[in-house]
């Protein structure tokens, strides 16, 4: 499956130019080949197989496999946040300092920092808050000497909770930065 750049906004979705794929190329992405496999309702859409941007071992990857929230066995430890806050606690800082030790010992390793929120908030503000949380950890690691080029960030907002109970313990567990070591 490939992404074909096939049309511009001005091409008018639904026109036969779309089908012929002859529109000028700007932003449109269509994927050929989805229709037969996935049946009515998804023809021509960006589809499930287009996962080039999904990091292996990320929470999104785990969720797609039905295993999000499982205990992490990776070398980098998760940190946690207060409600509606992206400030690093002293506990979080000490965890990050031990994560720095591992990153120094493994200089070729790169990591993605995932920011997550509990579900006591609204969708978009939590996405923004997750981005701040991921960047707070990234900035601290960089301040401790890790090259910025080794670190990327992503926010999952409240979309991929580690647990789903409506309890303070569960909310606290969900307010987290998770670190994924990238191959």
Taking the C-alpha atoms of residue 81 and residue 172, their distance in angstroms, rounded to an integer, is: 7
Sheet holding 176-182, edge to edge: 79-80, 176-182, 110-116, 151-157
Give the nearest distance from C-beta 61 to another protein in angstroms.
Answer: 9
Q: How many CB atoms lie within 10 A of CB 88?
A: 19
Give yes or no for residue 155 binding another protein (CB under 8 A): yes
Which residue carries 């923004």 as its tokens?
128
Give yes or no for residue 124 binding another protein (CB under 8 A): yes
Give yes or no for residue 88 binding another protein (CB under 8 A): no
Give yes or no for residue 64 binding another protein (CB under 8 A): yes
Taking the C-alpha atoms of residue 114 and residue 133, their distance in angstroms, rounded to an integer, is: 8
**Residue selected from 21, 45, 57, 75 as contacting another protein according to rule CB under 8 A:** 45
Give the nearest distance from C-beta 18 to another protein in angstroms.
Answer: 7
**Residue selected from 17, 139, 171, 181 as contacting another protein according to rule CB under 8 A:** 139
**Residue selected from 18, 69, 150, 181 as contacting another protein according to rule CB under 8 A:** 18
Give yes or no for residue 151 binding another protein (CB under 8 A): no
The SS3 assignment for 60 reads helix
């Amino acid at each position: 499956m490939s992404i074909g750049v096939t049309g511009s906004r001005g091409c008018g979705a639904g026109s036969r130019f779309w089908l012929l794929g002859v529109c000028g190329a700007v932003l449109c992405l269509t994927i050929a080949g989805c229709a037969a496999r996935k049946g009515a309702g998804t023809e021509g859409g960006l589809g499930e197989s287009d996962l080039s941007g999904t990091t292996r071992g990320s929470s999104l990857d785990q969720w797609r496999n039905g295993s999000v929230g499982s205990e992490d066995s990776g070398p980098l430890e998760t940190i946690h946040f207060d409600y509606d806050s992206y400030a690093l606690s002293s506990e979080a800082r000490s965890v990050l300092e031990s994560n720095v030790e591992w990153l120094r010992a493994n200089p070729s390793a790169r990591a993605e920092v995932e920011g997550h929120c509990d579900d006591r908030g609204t969708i978009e503000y939590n996405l923004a808050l997750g981005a701040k949380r991921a960047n707070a950890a990234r900035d601290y690691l960089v301040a401790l000497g890790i090259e910025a080029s080794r670190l990327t960030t992503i926010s999952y907002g409240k979309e991929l909770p580690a647990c789903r109970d409506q309890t303070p313990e569960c909310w606290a567990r969900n307010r987290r930065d998770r670190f994924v070591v990238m191959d």
